[in-house]
Amino acid sequence: MCGVSLNHCKFCNAAIEGELEKAIFKAGGIRDSNFGNLYKIGWARSSRTDKGVHSLATMISLKMEIPADAWEDDPNGITLANCVNSSLPENIRVFSILPSKKLVSFSYF
């Protein structure tokens, strides 16, 4: 892996964000018409890492296709996260998927 970035490098097959985008798409969280265009879904990240650098946690914000009642029985979004995790490599994990009422801007954190 080359860190959290969509830029592909000559030393790896895919970046972490690319793997995450594919897994969210497979779980039904991204429409066919929006897949491959992160701008359309408002994709933003809290930080990025370079090759060889690790991150304990990175927050991602995006507009997902999720039923409105998804959090009624699962307020922490663990079930949704596990659905995405089922399509991710073992070294990439989603811990939680939570709704946001506003556009998230990580420049304020």
In whole angstroms, what is the distance from residue 42 CA to residue 44 CA?
6
Which entry of 50, 69, 73, 74 is annotated as an active-site residue? 50
Rounded to whole angstroms, what are the CA distances from 85 to 47, 89, 109? 20, 8, 26
Query: Which H or E element spans position 60?
Result: strand 60-61
In whole angstroms, what is the distance from residue 25 CA to residue 9 CA?
22
Instruction: Answer yes or no: 50 catalytic.
Output: yes
The partner residues of 45 in beta bridges, in order of sequence, read 60
Residues marked as catalytic = 50
